[in-house]
Chain A
Amino acid sequence: MSRTLKAFPTLLRIGLAEAIAYRAEFFIWMLTMTMPLIMLALMSTLAEEAPIGNFDSPRFVSYYLATLIVRQLASSWMVWEMMREIREGTLSMRLLRPIHPLSGYAAESLASIPMRALFSTPIALIALYATSGRDVTRDPALIFAFVLSVAGAWLLNFCISSIIGTLALYLDSSIAIWELWLGGFMIFSGYLLPLSLFPPWFQTLAHVLPFSYLQALPVEIITGLHGRSGAFWELGHQWLYALSALGAMLLFWQRAIKRFSAFGG
């Protein structure tokens, strides 16, 4: 553990260097996350005549730009990397190193955040300017909650990505499971549409499922859709999910590697 902590800064630095070396690909990957901008154009136009639900046009602007930023900061593409390494057998290289392979993946994933921030900071500034910051919360407690909720969303996302990536040791078609997960994410996480526009039964369902904690929660906190008590209550739920996912990930990884070593894939 202490060795991992000691090595972590170097791993982060190399990971960042890698992200910079891949900047062209990286930029394109980030552009693929512009769906919120398209939804923003759509919904803010619709809301010009009259508000849709509790959303007027500027609120849609704040909501979708916050969505874009949270997605940039909290998402992780490591599933593809993991599956590729498992398919090509280069996972062995990671297993031979005297630190936990998942901490290597975590470092790589975290190291790309500065590059993503480079992309999302201008968006945040535009959002503040365009809406005069009307919907952005000024409560320091809520801003603190927002930071925690982005960290929680990243952790939850990372753990779930790892679990699905590890599935590739068992299944040929784990990519289909990832796509299924993404499909659920698109609808249930508030990524395409704010959850409050959905029918009540759907909102209840979305509340139980983990998706909203990956995306909607940080967005809702920073755009002032939650009061303090509501925000921290939800934050507790999120971290409960994240820590359980962390435990599940570690257990599953251990089992999968054991099985992999025993049966040779």
Chain B
Amino acid sequence: MARYFRLLLVRLRVSVQLGSQYRSDFLVGGVMALFWLSWNLVPMWVVWQKRPMIAGWSFPEALLVAAWFTLMRGVLEGAVQPSLVAVVEHIRQGTLDFVLLKPADAQFLVSTAKFESWRAADAIGALVIGGYALHRVAHPPAASAIAVALLLTLAGAAVLYAVAIVVVAAAFWVVRLDNLIYLFNSIFDAARWPLTVFRGFWRILFTFIIPLGLITTYPAMALLNKLDWPTALRALGGAMLFVALARVAWTRALKHYTSASS
């Protein structure tokens, strides 16, 4: 365990070093991320202009969801996806075999291969939006609410990672991964809206199948004291289930890979 932690730290350090070598890319990427951040808030702003309350959410409360969305997209595109794109490159060039030969868990190795450090700008953006939203909401959250929100954030990140692993596992069988990633990103975009504004099919899809609600809405609700304990516990349990499922999918995909390729 300690070895894996050390390995993770080494890889993070290498990524930051790589990032700082291209400082201009770093800066331009960061500035662009902040621009897109505010640009993407436009539809939300327009809709809430027409109604002060939507499905029980005021604009500042919805902004809090948007803040979590921003943070999680940073996690997704900065920490999860770069490595997974690298896996596919490995599969294509036949160098995945080298990874499999190393004396450490393959899933761990491939999913920590690369980090885009300039995505840290997303975290800053999330803090700015979240701070502004909390200021507008007016009543400061209790310490327990903050704790639950943080816990759910970790769970959300784990779910995001699990879904991404499942996507990669699927790529062993079906199609090119860049397509699947693109598809996932376009669906993930829906997570900027509070889950409860959706109904019917989409509500079920975003709650259970692609649990976007858990990733962005629940932590925001926890901070706003809107989340009851049973839901929070179920969310945590669901997150663990997702991670376990992802592990199974990965193991099966790897088995398929090693038996299919010569």
List the interface of chain A (C-beta within 8 A of B): 24-25, 28-29, 31-35, 38, 41-43, 45-46, 52-53, 176, 183, 187, 192-193, 197-199
| Given A192-B43, A198-B46, A41 contacting B179 (CB threshold 8 A) | no
In contact, A42 and B183 (Cβ under 8 angstroms) = no
| Given A187-B42, A193-B46, A197-B46, A42 contacting B197 (CB threshold 8 A) | yes
- Interface status of B198 (Cβ within 8 A of chain A): yes
Given A38-B187, A43-B47, 6 further pairs, Cβ under 8 A: A32-B186, A42-B193, A42-B198, A45-B55, A45-B197, A45-B198
- Interface status of B6 (Cβ within 8 A of chain A): no
Tell me the B6-52 residues at the A interface (CB within 8 Å): 32, 36, 39, 42-43, 46-47, 49-51
List residues of chain B with CB within 8 A of the CB of A187: 39, 42-43
Nearest A residue to B200 via CB reads: A41
In contact, A28 and B43 (Cβ under 8 angstroms) = no
Nearest A residue to B193 via CB reads: A42
- Interface contacts (Cβ under 8 Å), in number, total 64
In Å, the complex CA distance between A16 and B39 comes to 37
Overall SS of chain A's interface:
helix
Minimum Cβ distance to chain A for residue B85 (Å) = 15
Minimum Cβ distance to chain B for residue A43 (Å) = 8
Tell me the B45-99 residues at the A interface (CB within 8 Å): 46-47, 49-51, 54-55
- Interface status of B174 (Cβ within 8 A of chain A): yes
In contact, B199 and A25 (Cβ under 8 angstroms) = no
| Given A28-B183, A45-B199, A176 contacting B32 (CB threshold 8 A) | yes
Nearest A residue to B186 via CB reads: A32
In Å, the complex CA distance between A46 and B50 comes to 10
Tell me the B200-226 residues at the A interface (CB within 8 Å): 200-202
In contact, A53 and B50 (Cβ under 8 angstroms) = yes
List residues of chain B with CB within 8 A of the CB of A33: 186
In contact, A46 and B47 (Cβ under 8 angstroms) = yes
Minimum Cβ distance to chain B for residue A37 (Å) = 8
List the interface of chain B (C-beta within 8 A of A): 32, 36, 39, 42-43, 46-47, 49-51, 54-55, 174-176, 179-180, 182-183, 186-187, 189-190, 193, 197-202
In contact, A24 and B189 (Cβ under 8 angstroms) = no
In contact, B51 and A35 (Cβ under 8 angstroms) = no
List residues of chain A with CB within 8 A of the CB of B51: 46, 52
In Å, the complex CA distance between A198 and B187 comes to 24
Nearest B residue to A24 via CB reads: B175
Partner of A35, one of B36, B180, B182, B189: B189
In contact, A25 and B50 (Cβ under 8 angstroms) = no
- CB-CB nearest 6 A-B residue pairs: A32-B186, A28-B179, A41-B202, A24-B175, A38-B190, A52-B50
| Given A41-B199, A45-B199, A197 contacting B50 (CB threshold 8 A) | yes
Minimum Cβ distance to chain B for residue A41 (Å) = 5
Partner of A46, one of B43, B54, B189: B54
Partner of B202, one of A38, A183, A193: A38
In contact, B197 and A32 (Cβ under 8 angstroms) = no
List residues of chain A with CB within 8 A of the CB of B193: 42
Nearest A residue to B39 via CB reads: A183
- Would you give 25 A-B contacts (Cβ < 8 Å), ordered by A? A24-B174, A24-B175, A25-B176, A28-B175, A28-B179, A29-B179, A29-B182, A31-B183, A31-B186, A38-B202, A41-B199, A41-B202, A42-B193, A42-B198, A45-B55, A45-B197, A45-B199, A46-B55, A52-B47, A52-B50, A183-B36, A187-B39, A193-B43, A197-B50, A199-B49
Minimum Cβ distance to chain B for residue A146 (Å) = 25
Minimum Cβ distance to chain A for residue B33 (Å) = 12
List residues of chain B with CB within 8 A of the CB of A176: 32
Nearest A residue to B197 via CB reads: A42
Nearest B residue to A184 via CB reads: B39
